[in-house]
Chains A and B, each alone.
With several copies, the nearest count.
Chain A
Amino acid sequence: MERNVSRIHIVSEPSIIYFLQVSWEKDLGSGFDIILTDGQSAWSGTVTTSEISREADDMAMERDKYVDELKKALVLGTEPANVYKFDFSKENCNFSYSRNLKNVSFILGSLILQKVSSPAEVIRELMSYCLNCMADQLAKNEHLQRENEMLQRDWNDVQKRLEKCVTDKENLEADLHKRFVLVLNEKKAKIRSLHKSLIQAKKSEKEKQDER
């Protein structure tokens, strides 16, 4: 089961923070449960899959697009504060959520909530859920941190090995050339020596020929 808890403001009571828990199985579009609390009282309600279809039809909106709007309004909380509005009446327990578009509000959905008889239990459960999430996130954070440090060390290690390989390659090239030059110069010295001997032999023959 998926769950999300967020802070919302009620239009009719802007100074009070309310907490909205939305929970659903697999997909929000299949229906969801709502819990609303002001830290003292709590109200709950359900929106069924057929109610979602009906609302989408009423708004002449594609169902998938309507469910996306619901996600943005009730779960994601990534939009700026004035894009979605919430209203709740403690008298008739009517809870509604609207979308603001160019200063015009479009009601996305509404339902009558039931007042919870033991709000303390609901509030305790909400807080427990939050603390569990915090603990999970902290554990994940520590794991990611360790992974990060390990990746950093690995990167440093492979970077050093690359630098060494580049240096080794340069050194190898220089070293091989030096060795080659030594061996080559031996051959050149031999060529010079043979060349000198050949010239000498030819000169000696010519001298003897001239003598004769």
Chain B
Amino acid sequence: CPSTKEHFACEYDCYGDSYFADTDVVQLKEVFSRIKNVK
């Protein structure tokens, strides 16, 4: 729903990486794997 969408948009970038929570190698690999058509 729009509110959930808005909440996630505040918390995560469009690749699913959190703006606030620190990342690690495993999570970063997951984020990278979601990126399609890298230009």
Binding site of B, secondary structure by majority: helix, strand, loop or mixed? Answer: loop
A interface residues, how many (CB within 8 angstroms): 20
- B28 close to A191 (CB less than 8 A): no
- B39 close to A178 (CB less than 8 A): yes
Chain B 4-30: CB-based contact to A (< 8 A → 1; otherwise 0): 000000000111011111111100110
| Contact A187 B19, CB 8 Å, known A177-B28, A178-B39 | yes
The one of A178, A179, A181, A188 in contact with B20, judged by C-beta atoms closer than 8 angstroms, is A188
- B22 close to A177 (CB less than 8 A): no
The one of B14, B18, B21, B28 in contact with A181, judged by C-beta atoms closer than 8 angstroms, is B28
- B35 close to A185 (CB less than 8 A): no
Task: Name the B residues within 8 Å of A188 (CB-CB).
Answer: 18-23
- B19 close to A181 (CB less than 8 A): no
Task: Name the A residues within 8 Å of B14 (CB-CB).
Answer: 186
Q: Tell me the number of A-to-B contacts counted with CB atoms below 8 Å.
A: 55
Q: In the complex, A52 Cα to B35 Cα: how many Å? A: 78
Chain A 161-204: CB-based contact to B (< 8 A → 1; otherwise 0): 00000000000001111111111111111111001000000000
Q: In the complex, A183 Cα to B12 Cα: how many Å? A: 11
- B38 on the A face (CB < 8 A): yes
| Contact A181 B32, CB 8 Å, known A186-B13, A190-B13 | no
- B25 close to A184 (CB less than 8 A): no
- B19 close to A190 (CB less than 8 A): yes
Q: Give B35 Cβ to nearest chain A Cβ, in Å.
A: 5
Q: In the complex, A185 Cα to B18 Cα: how many Å? A: 10
A173 closest partner in B (C-beta)? B29
Q: Give A179 Cβ to nearest chain B Cβ, in Å.
A: 5
Task: Name the A residues within 8 Å of B39 (CB-CB).
Answer: 178
- B20 close to A180 (CB less than 8 A): no
Task: Name the B residues within 8 Å of A181 (CB-CB).
Answer: 23-25, 28
| Contact A183 B19, CB 8 Å, known A177-B25, A177-B29, A178-B38 | no
Known: A181-B23, A183-B15, A188-B22. 17 other contacts (CB 8 A): A174-B25, A177-B29, A178-B25, A178-B39, A179-B32, A179-B35, A182-B38, A183-B28, A183-B32, A184-B17, A184-B28, A186-B15, A186-B17, A188-B23, A189-B22, A190-B13, A190-B19
